[in-house]
Amino acid sequence: MGNTSRFGTAQFLFALSVGILVAVVAVPMLLIFFNAFWVNGHFNIADVIRVLRQGETYKALLNSLFLSSGVTVTGTLVGTFFAWLVTRTDLPFKRTMKLLFLVPFMLPAFIGALAWKMLLSPRAGYINRLFMDIFGFDGPIFDIYSYAGIILVETMYLFPFVFIQVSGALERMDPTLEESARISGADLFTITRKITIPLVLPSILSGALLIMLYSMAHFGTVAVLGAETGIYNIPTLIYEKIHQSAGSFDSIRTATVLATVLVIAAAFILWLQNRVLSQGRYQIIAGKSFRPSELKLRGWRVPMFVFCMFYIALTIVLPTATIFMVGGLKTYGLPFVSENMTWNNYKYILFEWDLTRDAIWNSVSLGLIAALVTMFAGVIISYVIVKMKVRGKGFLEFLGMLPFSVPGSVIALGVILAWSGKFGINLYNTVWIILVAYVARYMAFSLKANSAALEQVHDSLVEAARASGATMWQALKDIVIPLVRPGMMAAFFLIFLPALRELTVSVLLYGPTTRTIGVAIYTLNEDGETVYSAALAGIALVIIVTGEILIKRLVAGKNNG
Partner 1 sequence: MADIHIAGVTKRYGEKNVLDTFSLEIRDGECFTLLGPSGCGKTVLLRLIAGFEPPDGGVIRIDGETVADPASGLHLPPDQRGLGMVFQDYAVWPHRDVYENVAYPLKLARTEPSVLRERTMRAIHLVGLEGLEKRLPSQLSGGQQQRVALARALVPEPRLLLLDEPLNNLDANLREEMRFEIKSLQKKLGVTILYITHDQEIALGISDRIAVMDEHGRLRQTGAPEEVYERPADDFIFRFLGVANLLPVRREGEALYVQGISAPWRGPVPDKAGDILTAGFRPSDVLLEHDNGDDSAGLPGVVCRASFLGAQMDYLIDIAGTLIRAALPAHECLNRNLLFVEGDACRVMLATAQWFEGEIANRGVL
Q: For binding to partner 1 (CB under 8 A), which residues are involved?
A: 1-5, 458, 460-461, 463-472, 474, 478-479, 482-483
Q: Based on DSSP, count helices (H) and strands (E) in the chain, helices before strands.
A: 28, 2
Question: Shortest distance, CB of residue 452 to partner 1, whole angstroms?
Answer: 16
Q: Tell me whether residue 56 or residue 463 sits nearer to partner 1 (CB atom).
A: 463
Q: Tell me whether residue 289 or residue 456 sits nearer to partner 1 (CB atom).
A: 456
User: Rounded to whole angstroms, how far apart are CA atoms 9 and 243?
Assistant: 45
Q: Tell me whether residue 330 or residue 458 sits nearer to partner 1 (CB atom).
A: 458
Q: What is the DSSP string of 362-373?
A: HHHHHHHHHHHH
User: Rounded to whole angstroms, how far apart are CA atoms 318 and 125?
Assistant: 13
Q: Tell me whether residue 4 or residue 248 sits nearer to partner 1 (CB atom).
A: 4
Question: Shortest distance, CB of residue 2 to partner 1, whole angstroms?
Answer: 6
Q: Tell me whether residue 8 or residue 175 sits nearer to partner 1 (CB atom).
A: 8
Query: Residue 43 forms beta bridges with which residues?
Result: 38
Question: Shortest distance, CB of residue 8 to partner 1, whole angstroms?
Answer: 8
Question: Shortest distance, CB of residue 13 to partner 1, whole angstroms?
Answer: 15
Q: Tell me whether residue 5 or residue 283 sits nearer to partner 1 (CB atom).
A: 5
Q: At what angle do helices 517-526 and 354-387 cross, to 10 degrees?
A: 140
Question: Shortest distance, CB of residue 478 to partner 1, whole angstroms?
Answer: 7
Q: Is 233 left (phi over 0), alpha (psi -120 to 50) or beta?
A: beta
Selection from 437, 555, 553 nearest residue 488 by Cα: 555
Q: Tell me whether residue 427 or residue 472 sits nearer to partner 1 (CB atom).
A: 472
Question: Shortest distance, CB of residue 384 to partner 1, whole angstroms?
Answer: 17
Question: Shortest distance, CB of residue 36 to partner 1, whole angstroms?
Answer: 40
What do you get for the CA distance between the two ends of the chain, in Å? 35
Question: Shortest distance, CB of residue 559 to partner 1, whole angstroms?
Answer: 14
CB 434 within 8 A of CB 516: yes
Q: Tell me whether residue 2 or residue 292 sits nearer to partner 1 (CB atom).
A: 2
The secondary structure element, H or E, covering residue 544 is helix 530-560
Question: Shortest distance, CB of residue 289 to partner 1, whole angstroms?
Answer: 23
Q: Tell me whether residue 190 or residue 456 sits nearer to partner 1 (CB atom).
A: 456
Query: Residue 38 forms beta bridges with which residues?
Result: 43
Question: Shortest distance, CB of residue 19 to partner 1, whole angstroms?
Answer: 25
Q: Tell me whether residue 397 or residue 459 sits nearer to partner 1 (CB atom).
A: 459
CB 235 within 8 A of CB 504: yes
Selection from 94, 154, 99 nearest residue 549 by Cα: 99
How far is CA 424 from each of CA 205, 420, 459, rounded to the nearest angstrom? 46, 8, 42
Residue type, 78: V
Q: What is the DSSP string of 357-403?
A: HHHHHHHHHHHHHHHHHHHHHHHHHHHHHHH---TTHHHHHHHHHGG
Q: Calculate ∠ Cα 267-269-274, nearest 5°.
A: 95
Q: Tell me whether residue 180 or residue 468 sits nearer to partner 1 (CB atom).
A: 468
Question: Shortest distance, CB of residue 371 to partner 1, whole angstroms?
Answer: 23
Question: Shortest distance, CB of residue 466 to partner 1, whole angstroms?
Answer: 4
Q: Tell me whether residue 312 or residue 470 sits nearer to partner 1 (CB atom).
A: 470
User: Rounded to whole angstroms, how far apart are CA atoms 28 and 34?
Assistant: 10
CB 479 within 8 A of CB 408: no
Coil, strand or helix: which one is 510? coil
| Helix, strand and coil percent figures for the chain, each rounded to 5 | 75, 0, 20
User: What's the chain's length in residues?
Assistant: 561
